[in-house]
Amino acid sequence: MNMLTYKSPLGVLRLVADADELVGLYLPNAEDVPAAQEKSTPVLRAAAVQLDEYFAGTRRDFDLPLAPRGTAFQERVWRALLAIRYGETWSYGALAKKIGRPAASRAVGAANGRNPIAIIVPCHRVIGASGDLTGYGGGLDIKRWLLAHEARFTPAAQTSFSMT
């Protein structure tokens, strides 16, 4: 596996690829970063360019080959996260309904917390049913920053704060 260190407004992010697929984007305080050799590859460079655009407010959707690794349930949750549009938030319950498991909001929350491709697979867009920010692997300050960043570049008429 190969890794590229990326300097962002949040601090240093670590992008990890296996062959030509992105398998990880780790936030500054991540402890579970897989061992990888520091080496730029086409997919890592593309991810860095798209992150530059995201942080500049000009990119809303990422177009990268993704290969997060987890259990079948986790991967199902992570695929569903990709349906949450830029500037929107969903509750854990709404995400559980999306995958056809309406009673599994706690399991969905656990899978969400294990998402290895932060920001690009937008786990930061999942909040508590009451609208409160709840746990985030990168810390609530980073989650708050990401949501505020997206809100700055989303017209109010297009912003949705929860999916019921």
Catalytic residue numbers, as ranges: 123
Burial class (CB in 10 A: 0-12, 13-18, 19+), 25: buried
Buried b (16+ CB within 10 A) or exposed e, 26-59: bbeeeeeeeebeeeebebbebbbebbeebeeeeb
